[in-house]
Chain A
């Protein structure tokens, strides 16, 4: 497949640009934060996105979705990186849909995917249990009890953990921390007895939560996929998550670059525009080159998901490692080249660095994915 967008994908990208500029620009994030919002977005936003069809893009037509594909969805998510738009799009329409589509029974798919596409439910994926991403290290337990399971353990830094209707939880039905076998996925009502949710206020003002499970009883039907075989679907969901985080970081990198480039053409010191200094020109040119590399790998990874290509895991790690590196470079350079004004809260550029770091860290940072890439490559 050629590494270019087709006409429909290009149109979706432009429609996302228009929508976000109108309903969720960066100024909206600032307004939400200043108003003390716990989510970082207006209550009405998700309904509008659902009306746009965004919740249904990855849902197969058979379950009431649009089945428009990952390249299309990637364009939307990339644009949300430019406007730093928070919403349930990532946790629900990407992670939730991918996990349920990949592991769910026919019944679960019919019920849950349809409800997601229609905007009736939101989801959150609860994986990590400490500050470092390590999916195989899961120690939370799910013990068979009567006709169902009893869940015990705690999850950290769950995206949308405080607002989602359904939690998709990775817990251990057998084995020990470190074993890939024995991990199972469950779909749990967020209101189930024994669940405690503690909101986490993070640098980006978004909606994270630490969640503890104390003898949470769920029915057998809550099991997503086969008992003990959840790691495969979990990995595929995390791969998708990392590719979409990469797409979002691509948007952030481009936007912080373009805002900085504009500043280099406006700001005068020593009687000239600072963009006339070669020291800054070369750094800007290198930075731009790095972003060009990022565009290619993100598009390739999205296409690979659409083709169910066997290189998806490797491409997910390549994309995440590279984008985490370049998002870090971009947000650091943006502040340095803006100088003193870049340090002020009043100026918007600082929002990018505060969103970039959680995006880099979530589901494995640069070092995690460089290591994973090496393992996948046999060394």
Chain B
């Protein structure tokens, strides 16, 4: 216990000395997140400092092994770090698909050489990753993907088209699923490969969404050379790793159900917008809608907490990520539909003061994708029915 106390004090002192003042202010959402990478435009010098200092200490990936540059913290220490960061309202130093997705896959399935090569730059925020999974003809039916990698001995030549590549135009490397054995059965014959986005033949093109933003790309692969030493796990056995990553992604997206929309609760926002008379919000039907959302929101947050506690105590069911993804994303969509009604015509304003430069309508539209990306709600229900309920 005294060791942990000492750790807490060291951590507190270090954060106090190293977290710049502007990195202790709440973020406004997507715009001022730090993604790192070769070409990232930092919002400020302090944002850069914060990422670099935390990266050097390995605390951008606190629970990864120290031998690859990670923090090497155990669960208790990791918890203390989170608490001490929360105490000073420190922002996450780095948002990264490297840390969230490919890093954990490399730790679990990657060769020693791949770990040595890729994990340190991920931790330091030097390389930004994107995911090459979906294709125009392979969305929910991901295993039907057609982008192919032709075996050329020591390398593959990749051809095809990927779609919904998050920040593909800003990323430095891609982890990508290719069909490397055209004769094998559907799920067999797929490999997970890594390549630099600057490799000749890689062309990402941003896709404009209904929300007006372009966080995704379609990425064309024309005779792209992929080295065989950049295959994660065994050649033609990438589907297992792909599924592992999908589970990871589901958990990440599912958590968005309770993501903050600022410091106010839905009830407070609605009470302010609609007015309260004699203790009751004006508009009784909307009041009921808001209350029902908050009740479901509370039950969902408790469920996420319970699932985490069950895993910690060793009697988790494991397969609940599909449920969290399904319910969390549907809940988030519901929230924004209600927020739209609560704000009335102000919520329709695309540009201007009334909707914080369109933040509300644009975010509302963006939530429509929550129940599509990372496996649609219908796919999650299939997963629950098959894997948990045993319905064939």
Scoring A residues 339 to 379 as 1 if CB is less than 8 Å from chain B, else 0, what string do you get?
00000000000000000000000000001001101110111
B390 within 8 A of A: yes
Q: Which residues of B contact A375 (CB under 8 A)?
A: 279-280
Which residues of chain B have a CB within 8 Å of any CB of chain A?
265, 267-268, 270-271, 276, 279-281, 287-288, 290-292, 294-296, 298-300, 302-303, 305-306, 309-310, 312-313, 315, 320, 323, 326-327, 378, 380-382, 384-386, 388-392
A2 interfacial by beta-carbon distance below 8 Å:
yes
Pick from A4, A284, A318: contact of B298, CB below 8 A. Answer: A318
Q: Are B290 and A297 in contact (CB under 8 A)?
A: no
Residue A282 is within 8 A (CB to CB) of chain B in the complex: yes
Check if A273 sits within 8 Å of B302, measured CB to CB. no
Identify A4's interface contact among B290, B315, B381, CB under 8 A. B315
Question: Beyond A285-B389, A293-B327, A296-B302, is A4–B309 a contact (Cβ under 8 Å)?
Answer: yes
Which A residues have a C-beta under 8 Å from some C-beta of B? 2-4, 261, 264-265, 273, 275-276, 278, 280-282, 284-286, 288-289, 292-297, 299-300, 318, 321-322, 367, 370-371, 373-375, 377-379
7 more contacts with CB within 8 A, not counting A296-B299, A373-B294, A377-B265, are: A4-B315, A278-B385, A284-B389, A284-B391, A285-B389, A288-B388, A299-B306
Bound form: Cα–Cα A242–B201 in Å: 64
Given A2-B309, A370-B292, also A273-B392 (CB < 8 A): yes
Are A261's CB and B389's CB within 8 A? yes
The answer to whether B320 and A264 touch across the interface, beta carbons within 8 angstroms, is no
Contact (Cβ within 8 A) A322 B299: yes
Partner of A297, one of B298, B320, B388, B391: B298
Select which of A284, A286, A322, A379 is within 8 A of B290 by beta carbon: A379
Interface of A is mostly: helix
Contact A282 B381 (CB under 8 A): yes
Task: Give, as a whole number of angstroms, the nearest-CB distance from A328 to chain B.
Answer: 14
Interfacial chain A residues near B267, Cβ < 8 Å: 374, 377-379
Interchain CB contact (< 8 A) of A289 among B290, B315, B323:
B323
How many Å lie between the Cα of A11 and that of B392 in the bound state? 34
Complex-state Cα separation, A299 to B299, whole angstroms: 11
Whether B305 lies near A297 (C-beta < 8 A) is no
- The interface residues of chain A lying within 8 Å CB-to-CB of B280 are 374-375, 379
Tell me the bound Cα distance from A52 to B299 in angstroms: 33
Given contacts A377-B291, A378-B271, contact A4 B391 (CB under 8 A): no
B299's partner among A278, A280, A297, A378 (CB-CB below 8 A) is: A297
Q: A273 to B287, alpha carbons, bound, how many Å?
A: 43
Q: Select B323's contact among A288, A297, A373, beta carbons within 8 Å.
A: A288
B302 / chain A contacts, CB cutoff of 8 Å: 3, 293, 296-297, 299-300
- Report the bound CA distance from A295 to B316 in whole Å: 14
* Residues in A neighbouring B389, C-beta threshold 8 A: 261, 281, 284-285, 288
Interface of B (DSSP majority class): helix
| 5 A-B interface contacts by CB (under 8 A) | A2-B312, A281-B386, A292-B320, A318-B299, A378-B276
A3-B305, A4-B313, A379-B270 given; A282·B294 CB < 8 A: no
Residue of A nearest to B320 (CB): A292
CB nearest to A10 among chain B residues: B315
Chain A residues whose C-beta falls within 8 Å of the C-beta of B279 in the assembled complex? 375, 378-379
- Distance (Å) between the CB of B93 and the closest chain A CB? 29
**Neighbouring B residues of A276 by C-beta, 8 Å:** 391-392
Contact of B381 with A293 in the complex, beta carbons under 8 Å: no
Which of A3, A261, A370 is in CB contact (< 8 Å) with B295? A370
Asked if A289 and B384 make an inter-chain contact with CB atoms under 8 angstroms apart, the answer reads yes
Residues on B with beta carbons closer than 8 Å to the beta carbon of A292: 303, 320, 323
- In the bound complex, CA of A293 to CA of B288 (Å): 20
Inter-subunit contact B290/A281 (CB<8 Å): no
Contacts of A300 in B (CB 8 A): 302
Asked if residues A379 and B385 are in contact (CB atoms below 8 Å), the reply is no
CA distance A282 to B268 in the complex (A): 34
Q: Which residue of B lies closest to A282 (CB)?
A: B381
Complex: how many Å from CA A276 to CA B389? Answer: 12
CA A178 – CA B210 in complex, angstroms?
Answer: 51
Task: List the B residue with the shortest CB-CB distance to A2.
Answer: B309
Across-interface contacts of B287 in A (CB, < 8 A): 374, 379
In this complex, what residue of B is CB-closest to A319? Answer: B299
Asked if B303 and A286 sit within 8 Å, CB to CB, the answer is: no
* B392 partner, pick from A2, A275, A282, A296, beta carbons under 8 A: A275
Which residues of chain A come closer than 8 Å to B276, judged between CB atoms? 378-379
Contact partners of B265 in chain A: CB under 8 A: 377
A281 contact set on B, CB distance < 8 A: 381-382, 385-386, 389, 391
- How far is B300's CA from A375's CA once the two chains are assembled, in angstroms? 21
Chain A: minimal CB distance from B251 (Å):
15
Interface core residue of A318, A371, A379 (most chain B CB under 10 Å): A379
State how many angstroms separate the Cβ of A78 from the closest Cβ of chain B.
15
A373 & B295 in contact (Cβ 8 Å cutoff): yes
Contacts of B392 in A (CB 8 A): 273, 275-276
6 A-B pairs closest in CB distance: A281-B385, A285-B384, A296-B302, A3-B306, A293-B299, A285-B381
| A276→B382 CA distance, assembly (Å) | 11
A374 touches B381 (CB 8 A): no
Contact between A374 and B312 (Cβ–Cβ < 8 Å)? no
Instruction: Tell me if B382 and A293 are in contact (CB < 8 A).
Output: no
Query: Which residues of the other chain, A, contact B380 by a CB distance below 8 angstroms?
Result: 285
User: Are A296 and B391 CB-contacts (below 8 A) given A318-B298, A370-B291, A374-B291?
Assistant: no
Bound CA–CA A87/B279 (angstroms):
40
- Which residues of chain A come closer than 8 Å to B313, judged between CB atoms? 2, 4
Closest CB in chain A relative to B378 CB, distance in Å: 7
Complexed CA–CA distance, A282 and B330 (Å): 14
Once the chains are docked, how many angstroms separate the CA of A79 from the CA of B342? 41
Separation of A286 and B279 alpha carbons in the complex (Å) = 35
Given contacts A4-B315, A379-B267, contact A288 B295 (CB under 8 A): no
CA of A300 to CA of B306 in the docked complex: distance in angstroms?
9
- A293 touching B294, Cβ below 8 Å: no
Q: Determine the distance from Cα of A4 to Cα of B316 in the docked complex, in whole angstroms.
A: 10
Which chain A residues border B296 with CB–CB below 8 Å? Answer: 293, 322
CA distance A2 to B307 in the complex (A): 10
Q: Cα distance A287–B87 when bound, in Å?
A: 39
User: Which residues on B sit within 8 Å (CB–CB) of A378?
Assistant: 267-268, 271, 276, 279
Docked Cα-Cα span, A146 to B382, in Å, equals 71
Which of A261, A284, A297 is packed against the most chain B CB atoms within 10 Å? A297
- Note all chain B residues with C-beta closer than 8 A to A296: 299, 302-303, 305-306
